[in-house]
Amino acid sequence: MKQAVLVIDVQESFRRRPYWDETELPAFRRAVQDLVDKAASAGVPALRIFHHEPEAPADDPFSPRSGLVRTLEDIRYEPVETFHKTVHSALYARSPAGTTLEHWLRAHGIEEVLVCGIRTEQCCETTSRHASDAGFQVRFVADATLTFPMVSAAGRRYSAADIRDRTTLVLDGRFARIVDAATALDD
With bands split at pLDDT 50, 70 and 90, how would you rate the model's confidence at 187? confident
CA distance 69 to 107: 26
Q: What is the pLDDT of residues 72-119, one digit of tens each?
A: 999 999 999 999 999 999 999 999 999 999 999 999 999 999 999 999
What is the pTM (predicted TM-score) of this model?
Answer: 0.97
Domain-embedded: residue 95: yes
Nearest-CA neighbor of 12 among 96, 81, 91, 68?
A: 68
β-pairing, 177-179 vs 157-158, is: unpaired
Let me know if residue 164 belongs to a domain.
yes
Q: How far apart are CA 185 and CA 63, in angstroms?
A: 34
Residue 147 lies in a domain: yes
In sequence order, the 6+-apart residues with CB closer than 8 A to the CB of 78 are: 40, 46
The domain total for the chain is: 1
Mean local confidence (pLDDT), 20-32: 97
On whether residue 187 sits in a domain, the answer given is no
Query: For residue 99, what are the domain limits?
Result: 3-179
Question: What gap in Å lies between CA 87 and CA 136, rounded to an integer?
Answer: 19
Give the tens place of pLDDT for each residue, 130-183: 999 999 999 999 999 999 999 999 999 999 999 999 999 999 999 999 999 999
Q: What is the CATH number of the domain that holds 45?
A: 3.40.50.850
Q: Is residue 26 exposed (0-12), middle (13-18) or buried (19+ Cβ within 10 Å)?
A: exposed
By percentage, how much of the chain surpasses pLDDT 90?
99
Q: Do the domain assignments include residue 96?
A: yes
Determine, yes or no, domain membership for 186: no
